[in-house]
Structure 1
Amino acid sequence: MMFLVLSGIFVAIGWAVGAIFFNDWVAGALIFLVIAAAMNIVSYFFSSKIVLASYRAKVVSEADAPRLYRIVRNISQTAGLPMPQVAIVPTQTPNAFATGRNPKHATVAATEGILNLLNDDELTGVLAHEMAHVKDRDILVMSVAATLAGAISYASRSFFWGSMFGGGNRDNGNILIAVIVAITAPIAALMLQMAVSRSREYLADREGAEMIGKPLYLASALRKLEAGNRARPMQFGSPTSSGMWIVNPFKGGGLVNLFSTHPPMDERIRRLENMASGIRM
């Protein structure tokens, strides 16, 4: 469904491009359909590398990051999952994400900031959340969504400015089409990400807490991460990939929050606290 809907949005932009610039909407749609198919293939196999590169993440060994490596290994053994690659993102923004196409080709990444901010219990809660994403194969969906949504946003912006200043057939309401595509395509992509990401974040919170039997570890971490990311938002990377992180690393407010890929933090913490009352001995 994710592949098809995002590809459909991309092809719709191709239809508009063909109608305005070539007077042939079929050619435009077919060209963008081929591009979408190629992007899906590339995203499936290489989205993990693309995402890691976009955030300057460096894959590390146990000797490089013994504390991080030890916690990830303990969680993977407890959950019965293959040991993923471990990476560190060079930023003081406290956050973490997982990426890859399946549990055998997964990478769990943590920022330098989260390693400095959280204690071992809280970091265990966060990394268990990420390993839950690995277990449920959310990492493929989120990686592909981030890659394709970014391409849609770029294509729609390029199309809009090209139609405004780059010539082409601008008669018969085509300028209106350009405006509509420029506005709705990125919103549609972000809404699709939001619908998937919010439900999966709740599930990963619950399953991660069940893996380690300590929901309050994650609840405590989320409080610190919420404050830490507000105080020190990410300065690089793309907001279209914000859904991959355990909390939104980018500064936003007003309408930006309306399209947030993450559930309300208070609700996430409340659910974890309710879990704790039934799990704690």
Structure 2
Amino acid sequence: MNYFRTAILLAALTALFMAIGYLIGGGTGAMIALVVAAATNLFAYWNSDRMVLSTYGAHEVDRHAAPELVAMVAELAHRAGLPMPRVFVMDNPQPNAFATGRNPQNAAVAVTTGLLQSLSREELAGVIAHELAHVKHHDTLLMTITATIAGAISMLAQFGFFFGGHRNTNNSGPGAIASILIMILGPLAAMLVQMAISRTREYAADNLGARIAGQPMWLASALVRIEGAAHRIPNIEAENNPATAHIFIVNPLSGRGMDNLFTTHPSTENRIAALQQLARELGRSDSMSQVDIEPDYPPHSPWNRPPASRGPWG
């Protein structure tokens, strides 16, 4: 059902883009919009991962620079049936993480120094498993496409406002009022569809990630910590590039001003409730207090270490 809903929403986003093109330039405008969408998505397909990693100043680490972190990613990737992704660290005090890449063979997982310093091994495993679930579901490519189309819709709507606010001799093209409505409602509709797609994929990644890690409440506990810190510790790069906020596990925007008026993430409370339900289905403890104070360690966990060992990895 999640995949079907995502496909419907993505089709709606594409249809909206072409509809705005049609309103501005008729059939020719719709075709031009389709060509522009194809071109921008092709560019994003090959370059989006490098662009976003560069935006956040992420640097790649290996087994020599961060042995425990890379070993954890490798173990979880193996459990998920995925190729080993590249591992990146961002020098950022806000605990957060994201995955990127056009496919599992070219994937990357990036975590902030704040995440490494504030989470236990179990919580970190939950976060990384969540990001690997995005890779396995090909969400990294999907979210790039939706963000690209949404951005193109905003650009096209502004173009229609500045150049389509009059009618020619054939009485074609939008009038001034219609142009204003296109400029306002077009990007708003695109944002709502993008939000719906993002939220759908976050729930799916939470579910699969919890199964990969083996304990849903590890991720639940991590979400609580990250959510609380995100409101206290600003992520300057994310504030300067709010269009990339949807790629993080928790909304990195501080919530000041209009940042959180339309959030691309489900509420943390709802995500935790879903993880608690999954924990009950899997026969695991669903108690947040046990996770925060005394995590339920599996006896054969390769990253088993007491919570007193919190701190930088590697």
Give the structure-2-normalised TM-score. 0.76
- Partner Cα separation in structure 1 for residue 183 and residue 61 of structure 2: 40
CA shift in 2, pair 1:6/1:41, >3 Å: farther
CA distance in structure 2 between the partners assigned to 1:87 and 1:213 by the alignment: 24
Task: Confirm whether residue 272 of structure 1 aligns to residue 293 of structure 2.
Answer: no
Unaligned stretches of 5+ residues in structure 1: 19-24
1:7 equivalent in structure 2: 14
Unaligned ranges ≥5, structure 2:
1-6, 286-295, 297-314
Change (3 A) 1:17 1:58: farther
Tell me which moved more, 63-72 or 224-233. Answer: 63-72
Aligned twin of 1:169: 166
| Whole-angstrom CA distance in 1 between matches of 2:100 and 2:227 | 21
Counterpart in the other structure of 1:151: 152
**Cα shift readout 1:228-265 (whole Å, capped 9, x = no counterpart):** 11112322243333221111111337986563221111
- Partner residue of 1:35? 36
Q: 1:177-218 deviations in whole A, cap 9, x for unaligned? A: 222122122222222222222122112112111112111211
CA contact (8 A) 1:16 1:177 kept: no
What is the SS of the residue equivalent to 1:62? coil
Aligned to 1:55: 56
How many Å apart are 1:129 and its aligned residue?
Answer: 0.7
What code does the residue aligned with 1:76 have? Answer: A
Q: What is the CA RMSD across the aligned residues, in angstroms?
A: 2.7
Query: 1:21 matched to which residue of 2?
Result: none
SS of alignment partner, residue 279 of structure 1: coil
Q: How many residues align?
A: 271
- Return the offset for 1:8: 3.2
Instruction: Encode CA deviations 1:137-170: one digit per residue, 9 max, x unaligned.
Output: 112111222233233334434554x35xxx9637
| Equivalent-residue separation in structure 2 for 1:157 and 1:68 (angstroms) | 45
Specify the alignment match of 2:116 in structure 1. Answer: 115
SS in 2 for 1:236: helix
> Residue 303 of structure 2 corresponds to which residue in structure 1?
none
Alpha-carbon distance between aligned partners in 2 of 1:242 and 1:235, rounded to the nearest angstrom = 12
Query: Counterpart in 2 of 1:206?
Result: 207
| Distance change in 2, residues 1:53/1:180 (3 Å) | farther
How many percent identity over aligned positions? Answer: 44
Contact 2:165 2:175 in 1 (8 A): no
Higher helix share: 1
Q: How has the CA–CA distance of structure 1 residues 168 and 233 changed in structure 2, closer, same or farther, with 3 Å as cutoff?
A: same
Does 1:228 find its partner at 2:232? no
- 2:111 & 2:147 partners in 1: Cα distance? 18
Q: Show the counterpart of 2:293.
A: none
AA aligned opposite 2:253: F
Q: Deviations over 1:47-77 (max 9, x none)?
A: 2223323333333323233332122111011
Q: Equivalent residue of 1:272, what SS?
A: helix
